Structure 1
């Protein structure tokens, strides 16, 4: 058995199938596993199948809210660049919420969605914040349930966008996103070493 997915202490001890169902998410890879299989077992089976995208999808529903948003923010930083000079309003607000997940920072993240540029994919980070607790957002919106799995799918989408930005090294970068999720799930910062040197201009 691989040790790659061992000691994921931040991930709840419940079946992966239940987590996926609660987030209205599905894996594309068919696995011959019981519905009671824990996350580690499912991750190992997906790795054996080379199902990188499904591994990312499972992490998007298995990681707790703050860890999930942070994972998305790190993916955005991979192609947006370091703070503060490369900040987008949505990314900066999402990061602020991770460090201080209060209603004020959630409202700040929500507000960025109203003014974001059309091509700003970092809104996925802000969306992951807004729907993190399963409601429509802060304030009065908190009294209404949000779309099922909206935070989870937003974090997943942010990682997929970042994956697409690394099309020339997609497999190595995909493994980096997985290693990052593993590190976060173990209580780490997610700041894992790059899988390969970034390609040079020209």
Structure 2
């Protein structure tokens, strides 16, 4: 263990493979680790193997709902590059700061009004499905697709890779370290690019 993924206190102390299975996700990189290996141990193994996309996938599954949405929103801000954020991103951010029926309804409205080319609808979708339900109101009685919120957060983070330069490893490290900071209780903001 390198220590890079120690003290991820907001991530459940469950085997990484169990979290992935519950979200209907799997890793492309095979690691010589027991099925009981925790998220930090698997992230260390993936880092050593250069499995950056798998690291993003695992973090999207392992982060709790609200933290996952915030991570997606930060990636969404990367994609906006200082421009006015679309309503979908703004609604998802509002839900993170004040989760509840009112902000969840605003997320659903933003999704309904979003044009097809709004890639940041993924942020709103992550918020809508964050608690494992299809949304608020009567939709709260129905389960969201397994791993739906994680897939949305993963998607927006994969798109944000290009915002951090042409080197895949360096770009992924920014997003991965951001997620690790959030998993430790930080804001994920101000995570510097990693050296070498």
TM-score category (smaller protein): over 0.9
Q: Shift of the alpha carbon at 1:119?
A: 1.4
Shift, 1:169, TM fit: 3.9
Cα distance, 1:171 vs structure 2? 2.6
In structure 1, the residue matched to 2:12 is: 12
Which one of the candidate residues 162, 183, 195 is aligned to 2:193? 195
Equivalents in 2 of 1:70, 1:23: separation in Å? 18
Q: How does 1:16-165 map to 2 (within 5 A)?
A: 16-82=16-82, 86-165=84-163
Q: What is the TM-score with the length of structure 1 in the denominator? A: 0.92
How much has 1:81 moved relative to structure 2? 3.1
- How many correspondences in the alignment? 194
Is the contact made by 1:176 and 1:192 (CA closer than 8 Å) also made in structure 2? no
- Alignment RMSD: 1.4
Conservation of the 8 A alpha-carbon contact between 1:179 and 1:192: no
SS in 2 for 1:73: helix
> Does the CA contact (< 8 Å) of 1:103 and 1:138 recur in 2?
yes
| Structure 1 unaligned spans of 5+ | 197-202
Unaligned runs of 5+ in 2: none
Deviates more, 1:145-154 or 1:187-196: 187-196
Q: CA deviation at 1:130?
A: 0.7
CA contact (8 A) 1:9 1:187 kept: yes
- Tell me whether 60-69 or 114-123 shows the greater mean CA deviation: 114-123
Determine the structure 2 residue equivalent to 1:199.
none
Q: Secondary structure at the match of 1:168?
A: coil
TM-score (normalizing by structure 2): 0.94
Deviations 1:78-131 (A, max 9, x none): 12034xx61210000000000011011111111111111221110000000111
Report SS of the residue matched to 2:123: helix
In 2, the alpha carbon distance for the partners of 1:99 and 1:53 equals: 28
1:165 deviates by 4.4
CA–CA separation in structure 2 for the residues paired with 1:166 and 1:5? 21
Return the offset for 1:12. Answer: 0.9
CA contact (8 A) 1:94 1:125 kept: yes
